[in-house]
Amino acid sequence: DTAVSQTPKYLVTQMGNDKSIKCEQNLGHDTMYWYKQDSKKFLKIMFSYNNKELIINETVPNRFSPKSPDKAHLNLHINSLELGDSAVYFCAAGRTGKGTQYFGPGTRLLVL
C-alpha cells in the first residue's frame, strides 16, 4: 500500500479554471503538508494541517485553499488558476513535532 498518495498525477488546465488535488495518507500520522516545487526545483512549504486544523500558512495567495475532511486527507483547491501556478505539488505526512515526513509522488500541474 502506498503510504501517501495523490491524485491526479498530471493536471493540465486553462488559466482561470478551478481545480483540486487530493491527498490521502494511511500512516496514521496527525500532520499533513502541502509543498510546491517550482520550475527551478525549489521546494517550499505552503500549508500544514494538524488534526484537521490549519497550522502553517506560508504567504500563499488566498486562491489556494487547503481542506482537510479528516486526519487521513488533505486536499488542495486552487481557484482562478494562473500561469505561475504551474509546478509540482507534493503532499506529505508526519507526526507532530517530528522532522520525518513522508511525501507523495507529486502532482504535476500545467496551466496553459
Question: Interface residues with other proteins (CB under 8 A)?
Answer: 4, 31, 33, 35, 41-45, 48, 50, 55-56, 58, 90, 92, 94, 96-106
At position 7, the amino acid (one-letter code) is: T
**Closest listed residue to residue 55, CA positions, set 37, 71, 32, 79:** 32
Q: How far is the CB of 15 from other proteins (least distance, A)?
A: 25
Q: What residues are paired with 45 via a beta bridge?
A: 35
Q: How far is the CB of 55 from other proteins (least distance, A)?
A: 5
Q: Which is nearer to other proteins, 17 or 96 (CB)?
A: 96
**What is the β-pairing status of strands 4-7 and 101-103?**
unpaired
